[in-house]
Amino acid sequence: MDPLTITAAAGMRARLESLDLVANNLSNASAPGFKADRESFSIYLSEETKSAQQDGAGPTQSFLPVVQSRWTDSSQGELRATGSMNDLALSGKGYFQIQGPDGALFTRDGRFTVTSAGKMVTPKGFEFSGDSGQPIQLDPALSVSVDGDGTVRQQGVEVGRLKLVNWPDETQSTKRAGGCFQLASNSLEGLQHSTAQLRQGFQEQSNLNPAEASVRLIDIMRQFESLNKAAQMGGDLDRYAVEDVAKVTA
């Protein structure tokens, strides 16, 4: 396969990965607290190519564009007033700690309901963690108010405090379904208390700009079409080389 076709095919693969990422971002554009994913690009060179460059020998090799890594944009989304006392939002860096099926999870989505058993849970049914390490026990018949520091009250009486945490920027986190994040077990020791201010009656919107993402989606599709044409051109040149240039004449 010629360098043109190889490079075009690698570019098409990278564009397909970007297309999946942008499409997933757009599908979650209305999810409260959603954090958009981004990608970083790099150029792949095989060991043979590197050796040939260093020695100044060998055929010219292709530089292949690849998606080197994906990362999550953790910037804060717009805080929108909903008027619902069951909506919580954080202004500043930090996350709500919740109890997932396999341990601690973290989210910016502060929507909650109170179960008949008095548990404060997310729309997925995960319980909000208490700052003391003990679950927050509520009376399902009473309204719930939450102070700016996460203190939970019923009829003015403190019944617990939500666990609001943050972690160093270099900490690796894994994105889970439902807008949650998970940390490696050894990273849980590095959790810090969040100083973010909690606002009741607000929802944090996705930090994705739908208009920008839509434009980027169109741009990716156009780039893919151009690369596809380049790949077809490379295939036509290869076919011409086999059928015409190498043809034996009488």
For 173-188, write each residue's pLDDT tens digit. 899 888 899 999 888 8
Please report the pLDDT score of residue 234 as a whole number: 72
Please give the distance of CA 125 from its chain centroid, rounded to a whole number: 22
pLDDT surpasses 90 at 70 = no
Lowest mean pLDDT among 55-59, 174-178, 229-233: 55-59
What are the tokens at 237?
């040149």
DSSP label of 186: G
Residues 192 and 110 in one domain: yes
pLDDT surpasses 90 at 98 = yes
Residues 68 and 111 in one domain: no
Range of the domain at 239: 3-73+208-245
Classify residue 250: in a domain, yes or no. no
pLDDT surpasses 70 at 218 = yes
Residues 173 and 222 in one domain: no
pLDDT surpasses 60 at 45 = no
Q: What is the mean pLDDT of residues 135-161?
A: 96
Determine the Cα–Cα distance for residues 90 and 237; give it in Å rounded to an integer: 58
Total domains present in the chain: 2
Please report the pLDDT score of residue 226 as a whole number: 84
